[in-house]
C-alpha cells in the first residue's frame, strides 16, 4: 500500500497523544476525545484509533447524525456501568458539528451526564507545547 509523505509520522504523533490521553482517562475515569487531522478523510484517525484500541472512531466518510451520537453516548454509558471506567474516542477534524451535538446530548440525557468528557485537539495541543518549550528556552 502506498502512503503519502508524513502519513506515518502523523499516525505516530496521534498514537503518542492517545497513549498519554489513555493514562489520564484511566486515572481520572473520563471519556477522552482526541481530534486529529483529517478534514476530508479519516485515515489518520482510523489508523491511530485502531493502533491504540480506541472505543470509537468518527470519520468524515461515515455520516453521523444525532441518533448515532446518542448511540455512541449509550455505548459509553454501558461501558462505564460495566466497570470500564474510561473510554477513548478518536475524531477526524472533518467530522463536522459533532461536539455541539454531543454536548446537547450530554446535558439533555440524565444517564449520560455523570460521564466526564475531555477534548484534546491535537494540532492546537502540539502548537501550544512547542510555544511553551520555545518560551522556556528563551528564559534560560
- More confident of the two residues 49 and 97: 49
Distance of alpha carbon 77 from alpha carbon 96, whole angstroms: 23
- More confident of the two residues 40 and 136: 40
- More confident of the two residues 132 and 25: 25
Contact 56, 32 (CB under 8 A): no
The full set of domain ranges for the chain reads: 7-139
- pTM strictly above 0.85: no
Where would I find the beta strands (DSSP E) of the chain?
31-36, 56-58, 87-92, 117-121
Q: Which helix (H) or strand (E) holds 27?
A: helix 7-28
Of 18-32, 37-51, 121-135, highest mean pLDDT = 37-51
Where would I find the beta strands (DSSP E) of 4-61?
31-36, 56-58
Which residue's C-alpha cell is 528564559? 139
Q: Which fold has domain 7-139?
A: Rossmann fold (3.40.50)
* 57 phi, psi to nearest 5 deg: -135, 125
pLDDT in tens, 63-107: 888 888 888 888 888 888 888 888 899 989 887 677 777 777 776
Strand-strand pairing, 31-36 and 117-121:
parallel
Q: Using only the alpha carbons of the chain, give its radius of gyration.
A: 16
Amino acid at each position: 500500500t502506498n502512503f503519502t509523505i508524513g502519513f506515518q509520522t502523523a499516525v505516530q504523533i496521534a498514537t503518542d497523544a492517545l497513549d498519554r490521553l489513555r493514562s489520564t482517562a484511566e486515572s481520572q475515569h473520563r471519556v477522552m476525545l482526541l481530534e486529529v487531522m483529517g478534514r476530508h478523510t479519516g485515515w489518520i484517525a482510523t489508523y491511530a484509533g485502531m493502533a491504540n484500541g480506541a472505543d470509537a472512531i468518527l470519520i468524515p466518510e461515515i455520516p453521523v447524525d444525532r441518533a448515532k451520537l446518542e448511540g455512541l453516548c449509550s455505548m459509553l454509558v454501558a461501558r462505564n456501568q460495566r466497570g470500564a471506567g474510561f473510554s477513548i474516542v478518536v475524531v477526524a477534524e472533518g467530522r463536522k458539528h459533532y461536539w455541539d451535538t454531543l454536548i446537547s446530548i450530554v446535558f439533555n440525557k440524565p444517564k449520560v451526564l455523570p460521564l466526564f468528557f475531555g477534548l484534546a485537539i491535537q494540532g492546537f495541543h502540539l502548537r501550544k507545547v512547542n510555544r511553551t518549550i520555545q518560551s522556556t528556552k528563551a528564559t534560560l
